[in-house]
Amino acid sequence: MDLSLDSSTLEFQAEVRSWLAAHVRPLSSMDTLQGFEEHRAWERLLASARLSVVSWPEEFGGRDLGLLQWLIFEEEYHAAGAPGRVSQNGIFLLAPTLFSHGTDEQRARILPPMARGDEVWAQAWSEPEAGSDLASLRSTAVRRDGGWLLRGQKTWSSRAAFADRAFGLFRTSAEGRHRGLTYLMFDLRADGVTVRPINQLDGEPGFAEIFLDDVFVPDHDVIGEVGDGWRVAMSTAGNERGLSLRSPGRFVAAAGRLVELYRKNPDPALRDRVVDAWIGAQAYRLHTFGSLANPPAGPAASVTKVFWSELDVALHETAMDLLGEVAPGWRDGWLFSLAGPIYAGTNEIQRNVIAERILGLPR
Amino acid sequence: MTPEQLALRDTVRSLLDKHSDIRAAIEAPHGYDKDLWARLCEIGVLPIPEHHGGSGAGLAETLVALEELGRTLTPAPLLSSTLAAQALLVSGNDEACGRLLPRIAGGTVAALALPWATGDHVTTAPLDHPEVTTAVSDGPLHATVHHVLDGDHAEILLVTDGISLYEVDPGQPGVTREHTPAVDLTRRLATIRLTDATATRLGLWSSQVRDTALAALCAEQVGAAARALELTVEYTKTRVQFGRPIGSFQALKHRMADMHVLVETARSAARAATDEVSAAVAKVYCAEAFCKVAAEMIQLHGGIAITWEHDAHLYFKRAHGSAQLFGSPQDHIDRLSRSAHR
């Protein structure tokens, strides 16, 4: 596909490419304490080159670049094999919410340290009894002078084992399933917070349970109106499901690695699956670049989410089948790909969204 | 789409809604409705510049029209004539363009005998056989080309050996043309045999026309797949079992959601098909997407889809016919594998 990049975009692409070539080095898993701090240092390094959040306004550490340039950045980033983004919950989920629903004060206070990796954010959506049925959540926020007291339990909180702060939904009134929820941010080191890491299937604590026992949150850490949290959360849910979390650069790079792998380990029986995965990554790229003027949001983001998560599984399964059991460099991605159809709203939920809200099928 | 393209889409869609009768067209001589074709040519759906007697529509506009013809499976010589017109334009032969394009714009059917299948004699496309070179002179030509769109009744016949573009008088003794009915009743295909056929070399052949053919077919496949899904959604909203519309059952909803994912990603791939690699990727992707959607259309309709009267089998047959046309998905996967992916 001819993207016909203009000269400033080409210049930016070249800058990103050469900067990454000079700075990328392998880090330990971000789900270990040492690896987490290495990834935080990497975020600081990225920020020092103003590359951590290129699409944000300059005042918050970005470059005011558009979606096309951001996609170019992502392609270069993944092609270079650069580290996973320990700050992704913040920069891809919380930040869009703050841009849409936050106050000027919140943006000025929260975004710059997020962009520098000084504050790493965890998400706190799910609860033991509230997974796909998120609106049934039971953790509460009760009114106190100047703020709120949080009480309850969150789980599957990505990065929470080592992160600094978290954001999520809390019940502030009993009226209605959705209307009684409020979007709040809290400090993971505040009094009353207990974090219990949960080891993932690679053996490392990639997520955690969070127990909240009368944790104080000041009023200025409420995002949007009290009781309007569901709408605030859902208005940016598309960011997690759609482009920003899993840009095509990631899959195009992985598919390229898969093709290389096939060249070194040619197995004719697997050739079609290799090409299919490669074609899938290309199709996702074409889908994304083709919809730049009208990026997938709302229900359309569900289409994207189903596509990339299943592509990721197919791609990694093919790599594992090529290599057999011993697959250094692929094993972690393979295990993590299994989570793709589950997080950010399971693919079954996404299919309900597509069927009911796009195709208009009856509930 | 631009406002003009949206207007064109609406014009073509409403014309087809009123006048496209595929069952009648299948039975008509040469398998298409001549009056409807004349109206399409009046609207100006062919990509022919104004100074050659056309409407000035570009390829993008033609793809919009092809997507609409795909939705209704309307048989018409638009795909064949589009490829012939593109081959002429790319050849750079002003005399031939000036002579032939106004006729094509006016509705004269033109066919392009472009070898795709491995059984054809003149497979010398540079991507696949960079080592092959042929003489660049006028004929005579010897060739057997299968699956030529509208090849048996086209008044204008163009042939390529993958190096040059030739004009061949279809009425001469050295040309035999045989209608070869296939599983897809809505597609007119022919085998063309040239034996010592007199041919005029018009100019260079460009593999760009091959990519255009793939992109055009993809647009048609996307239109048909989108319509197959729409018809399925409409049906499951009205068909009641167990006291509720069957479209409210999650087992069916999720299958239709998957169909939607396929249609939308196929549409993106089709629209982005602008060069050799993206066109091949789109061809594989759109072919597989449409086949899957059409198969699901039948399953989700149940027994009614097994009848001749229902159109579901026409979508299914079109899907499989189109998948094989211009090279099967496997052929293009082979090409992509050989071209080293980058």
pLDDT at A10 over 90: yes
Domain range A7-86, its CATH number among 1.10.540.10, 3.40.50.1980, 3.30.750.24, 2.60.40.3140: 1.10.540.10
**CB-based contact, A260 to chain B, within 8 Å:** no
Domain segments of chain A: what residues? 7-86, 121-230, 238-358
Nearest residue in chain A measured CA to CA from B282: A283
**Beta-carbon separation of A303 and B265 below 8 A:** yes
Asked if residues B101 and B52 have their Cβ atoms less than 8 Å apart, the reply is yes
**CB-based contact, A346 to chain B, within 8 Å:** no
Between positions 119 and 178 of A, the ones with CB within 8 A of B are none
What residue type is assigned to position B57 of the chain? A
Position A361 confidence tier, pLDDT thresholds 50, 70, 90: very high
- Structural domain harbouring B292: 209-338
What is the DSSP track for A16-56? HHHHHHHH------TTSHHHHHHHHHHHHHHHHTT-SSTTS
Q: Which among A2, A351, A363 is the nearest to B248, CB-wise?
A: A363
**Beta-carbon separation of B265 and A271 below 8 A:** no
- Find the range with the poorest average confidence among A232-236, A277-281, B265-269: A232-236
One domain for residues B167 and B29:
yes
pLDDT value for B1: 85
One domain for residues B168 and B231:
no
B187: domain CATH number is 1.10.540.10
Domain end: B206, B225, B254, which one?
B206
Task: Kindly state the average pLDDT of the residues B83-112.
Answer: 97
Share of chain B above pLDDT 70, in %: 92
Structure tokens at A6: 């203009």
One domain for residues B195 and B232:
no
One domain for residues B201 and B250:
no
Query: Could you report the per-residue pLDDT of A12-63, keeping only the tens digit for each?
Result: 999 999 999 999 999 999 999 999 999 999 999 999 999 999 999 999 999 9
**CB-based contact, A9 to chain B, within 8 Å:** no
CATH fold for domain A121-230: Butyryl-CoA Dehydrogenase, subunit A; domain 2 (2.40.110)
CA distance B12 to B283: 24
What is the DSSP track for A100-113? HH--HHHHHHHHHH
Between positions 249 and 278 of B, the ones with CB within 8 A of A are 250, 252-254, 256-258, 260-261, 264-266, 268-269, 271-272, 274-275, 277-278
One domain for residues B187 and B259:
no
**Beta-carbon separation of B278 and A272 below 8 A:** no
Asked if residues B269 and B282 have their Cβ atoms less than 8 Å apart, the reply is yes
Query: Could you report the per-residue pLDDT of A87-135, keeping only the tens digit for each?
Result: 999 999 999 999 999 999 999 999 999 999 999 999 999 999 999 899 9
Domain end: B185, B206, B227, which one?
B206
A122 beta partners: A166
One domain for residues B146 and B226:
no
Shortest distance, CA B318 to any CA of chain A (angstroms): 22
Domain end: B178, B206, B234, which one?
B206
Shortest distance, CA B126 to any CA of chain A (angstroms): 20
**Beta-carbon separation of B336 and A361 below 8 A:** no
B282: domain CATH number is 1.20.140.10
Query: Could you report the per-residue pLDDT of B159-202, keeping only the tens digit for each?
Result: 998 888 999 999 999 999 999 998 999 999 999 999 888 999 99
CA distance B308 to B27: 15
One domain for residues B293 and B273:
yes
Asked if residues B127 and B172 have their Cβ atoms less than 8 Å apart, the reply is no
pLDDT value for A330: 85
Domain total of chain B = 2
One domain for residues B271 and B188:
no
Structure tokens at B279: 């066109």
**Beta-carbon separation of B254 and A359 below 8 A:** no
Nearest residue in chain A measured CA to CA from B232: A359
pLDDT at B318 over 70: yes
CB atoms within 10 A of CB B334: 17
Asked if residues B2 and B57 have their Cβ atoms less than 8 Å apart, the reply is no
**Radius of gyration of chain A from Cα atoms?**
21
Strands B141-149 and B175-179 turn out to be unpaired
Q: Which of B261, B267, B338 has the most A C-beta neighbours within 10 Å, making it the best mutation to test the interface with A?
A: B261
pLDDT value for B135: 46
pLDDT value for B117: 56
**Beta-carbon separation of A362 and B244 below 8 A:** yes
Helix (H) or strand (E) holding B156: strand B156-160
Share of chain A above pLDDT 70, in %: 96
Chain B residues within 8 A of A284 when measuring between CB atoms = 265
CATH of domain A238-358: 1.20.140.10
What is the DSSP track for B95-153? HHHHHHHHHHHTT--EEEE---STTSTT---TTT-TT-----S---EEEEEEEEETTTT
Residues of A acting as catalytic residues? 240
Q: Which among A256, A291, A362 is the nearest to B245, CB-wise?
A: A362
Shortest distance, CA A317 to any CA of chain B (angstroms): 20
**Beta-carbon separation of A361 and B261 below 8 A:** no
pLDDT at A74 over 80: yes
What is the Cβ-side half-sphere exposure of residue B226, based on CA atoms within 13 angstroms? 19
One domain for residues B189 and B328:
no
Chain A residues within 8 A of B249 when measuring between CB atoms = none
Task: Kindly state the average pLDDT of the residues B140-149.
Answer: 89
Q: Specify the pTM.
A: 0.88
**Beta-carbon separation of A279 and B281 below 8 A:** yes
